[in-house]
Chains A and B, each alone.
Chain A
Amino acid sequence: MSSLKRNLNACSGVTVMPPDPDTKSLQFDILIVDDEAGMRTGAERSLEHFAVGLEDFGETIAFTVRCAATGAEALAEFKARRPDIVLLDYKLPDMTGIDVLENAPEPRDFLTIMITAFASLEVAVTATKRGAFDFLAKPFTPEELRATVQKAARHIYLHRKARRLEDEKKQVRFEFISVLAHELKSPLAAVEGYMHLMKERLKGGDLAAYDSMVERSVLRIAGMRKLVMDLLDLTRLESGKKKRSIETVDLVKAAGLVIEAVGPIALAKGVKFELKTPERLTMNADPGEIDMILANLATNAVKYNKQGGSAVLELKREDHGSVTVRCSDTGIGMTAEEQAKLFGEFVRMKNEHTRAIDGSGLGLSILKKVVKLYGGEITVSSEYGKGSSFEFTLADAEIPAQNAETALKA
């Protein structure tokens, strides 16, 4: 380590806080740089057993304290270990505090609190330019010192936490975009390939082969369009910018329309779709969102069904007020492993039953988000090869008091 001869009066090294059993304890390293021995010991004592509580995060910060009497000593301490907070005297025997800051090794991601006897504006400006976070004018009380250190410690903590969250967000975003790019590229490559084969007339005079290439291309493009539309829905839901218009929605009618819409694909697959509702059932909701929910459920129940299977969409008002929605099918079902992954974005179960089924991989993410708007949580029960059942409750949305709002704006 350093060959520095330590002044006996300089502080002895490390102050360890007794850990609080209930909260997580962090340790920040403080380096005190001052040529006055009394200052150093005084500051060290003030910080002994001092801890900053971060009640909102259930964490406390304790401190280890190191000391340096000169600029050279300070730089050696920097080299040994990077401190979190530096209490830096401006006037040192061998250089100024500013010189210490300038010569500190990179990265200089510590907070500096300048200690100065003469609070000159010039020093303050230069020090701030060099990254000083705060000032302490000599003489200061232990309370003043602790208050300043507390402010710095909280600042560092929040800054680091924010940076970590930002990094995580970036990672999630990167993954989302990577998968999205893949999902858009696959149909493009397929269509491009067909175009190429058609241009080269690789099937000679076999017109039926070209018809099928055109048909497949149109299908893949339709899939891409669906993906883009779903993506827009998802983005609007996530940004919270989707305009909602809450009104009384006739659920019986809405469900009937949805079943009608899936009619053609159900017919093609020979799937019998049954609707179970009371005679009358209404709720306060955004009609577009209700359509999204029911269409999503019904389409899945048909798409992931077996040839000649059946599906049931059930809606009813519970005694406690909310509406229960249940959609079950006699489809291909899922393994427990597949169920665990089900609600992730772009998760599409890849197995021999699903290969021929197209989908954007965003449907259930969207369903989950819309259902959440009505306070619901989706539960899935499924058995591989037997079928799946999706169930959740929807609470009535509040109809905004439009009149009151207009009155306020006026």
Chain B
Amino acid sequence: MSDDKKTRILVVEDDPDMMDQMKIYLESEKYEVVSASSQKEAEPLITPGGFHAAVLDLMMENPDSGFVLSHKIKRMDASIPVILVTSVTRETGYYFDKAHDPKSWIKADAIIHKELRFEQLKAELKRLLGGDRHAS
């Protein structure tokens, strides 16, 4: 049963420990977490009203899983904030940063580089969800 008073965050992450930690942290911040451990598992969860914000790992079973999910979420409802979590810059030399090179094809509102700090995640969620913390 989901609590209608709480802001629900969809977290998609394939590392079970990172998922576990993100859940503990977000729950301690009084968010409700809807979790999926793969792109495949997350896709059916993308439904209207299912969540108020999403935190997505970029590389899961496909190297672009996060992009694909982000695109699908934004196509459903462009107002839902999406945060991509990635370490892709350090590993591939590709640079994904909206301020640096606004790539319009990246349908995400924020990109956080691993190793993410929970405070940073919290700050981004607060910023994107607005002061009242309740999206809809």
Contacts and interface: CB of A to CB of B under 8 A. Distances in A.
Pair from one complex: yes
Interface of A: 178-179, 181-182, 185-186, 188-190, 192-194, 196-197, 202-203, 209, 216, 220, 350-352, 355-356
Interface string B68-83: 0000000000000000
Contacts of B37: 352, 355
Interface residues of B, number: 23
A237 B82 CA distance: 46
A180 to B, nearest CB: 10
Contacts of A220: 17
Contacts of B25: 197, 202
A271 B38 CA distance: 27
Contacts of A351: 61
Contacts, number: 52
Nearest 4 CB-CB pairs, A to B? A190-B17, A193-B21, A189-B115, A202-B28
Contacts of A185: 87, 114-115
Interface in B67-106: 87, 90-92
Nearest to A220: B17
Interface in B11-28: 14-18, 20-21, 24-25, 28
B24 A202 contact: yes
Contacts of B60: 350
A170 B73 CA distance: 40
18 contacts: A185-B114, A185-B115, A186-B15, A188-B115, A189-B18, A190-B21, A192-B115, A193-B17, A193-B21, A194-B17, A194-B21, A196-B118, A197-B21, A197-B25, A202-B28, A350-B60, A355-B16, A356-B16
A350 B14 contact: yes
B30 interface: no
B26 to A, nearest CB: 10
Given A192-B115, A352-B38, A355-B37, A178 B92 contact: yes
B91 A182 contact: yes
B40 interface: yes
B38 to A, nearest CB: 7
Contacts of B40: 352
Nearest to B38: A352
Nearest to B22: A193
Contacts of A178: 91-92
